[in-house]
């Protein structure tokens, strides 16, 4: 098992600027994604300034930035502005607005004008099937399926992700994202089914050094950790 042998592209998912810049030094990280929730948690107050600075500092890899409107006209206005910030930007649009209205018409309009899109928050195969025809005019776009959220409901996401790979095969301009993974193993699962991209949080990416680690050695490290922490805590019986 080796990161170097993977075909799936690893995108870092987060809004911590220092973490993004650090990860940009790692050649295994080939792109970046974020969203309004992550940015709010990170304390970002100037959306445009934050995004523009990152694109300027890291111009050689794709960034996905999301609209935060709910009305389709306002989504379009925000989307055009975001897309104008750089050629390496993929505009993130949610699969529906908060009323459950499908994003298809807006996606088709922007795709037809050459805007690179990242359709996000997808959790069903029907949503994948519906959005693919809307992206046929774009030079390159992502279909982001939240496999991790599917798994959170107790459902195995592998059949959904495998079927999604098949749906995208006739559209070479589209790439499937395995989004919201919960563990490093998901990187290898995504690679095995031919998924093109996986987005991974900064915390999970810190575990990359564990790939290929001898499990007997890892067991001993764990025992030493428990023992050391018990000593530091001063526990007595």
Alpha-carbon gap, residue 25 to 58, rounded angstroms: 10
Question: Active-site residue among 9, 92, 108, 116?
Answer: 92
- The enclosing H or E element of 52 equals helix 47-57
Cα gap 213→203, rounded to integer Å: 18
Residue 148 CB partners (closer than 8 Å, separation 6+): 157, 179, 180, 181, 182, 186
155 phi, psi to nearest 5 deg: -105, 135
Active site residue 232: no
Whether 15 contacts 39, CB under 8 Å: yes
The catalytic site residues sit at 92
């Amino acid at each position: 098992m080796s990161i170097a042998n993977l075909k799936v592209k690893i995108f870092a998912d987060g809004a911590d600027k220092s973490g993004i810049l650090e990860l940009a030094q790692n050649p295994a990280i080939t792109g970046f994604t974020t969203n309004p929730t992550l940015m709010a948690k990170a304390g970002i107050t100037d959306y445009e300034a934050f995004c523009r600075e990152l694109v300027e500092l890291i111009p050689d890899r794709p960034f996905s930035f999301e609209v935060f409107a709910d009305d389709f006209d306002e989504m379009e206005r925000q989307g055009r502005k975001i897309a104008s910030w750089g050629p390496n930007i993929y505009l993130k649009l949610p699969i529906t607005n908060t009323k459950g209205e499908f994003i298809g018409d807006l996606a088709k309009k922007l795709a037809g004008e050459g805007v690179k899109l990242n359709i996000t928050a997808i959790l069903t195969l029907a949503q994948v099937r519906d959005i693919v025809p809307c992206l046929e005019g774009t030079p390159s776009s992502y279909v982001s399926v939240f496999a991790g959220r599917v798994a959170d409901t107790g459902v195995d996401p592998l059949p959904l992700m495998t079927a999604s790979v098949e749906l995208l095969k006739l559209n070479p301009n589209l790439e499937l994202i395995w989004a919201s993974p919960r563990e490093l193993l998901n990187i290898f699962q995504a690679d095995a089914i031919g998924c093109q991209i996986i987005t991974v949080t900064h915390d999970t990416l810190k575990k990359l050094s564990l790939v290929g680690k001898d499990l007997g050695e890892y067991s001993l490290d764990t025992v030493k950790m428990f023992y050391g922490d018990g000593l530091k805590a001063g526990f007595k019986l």
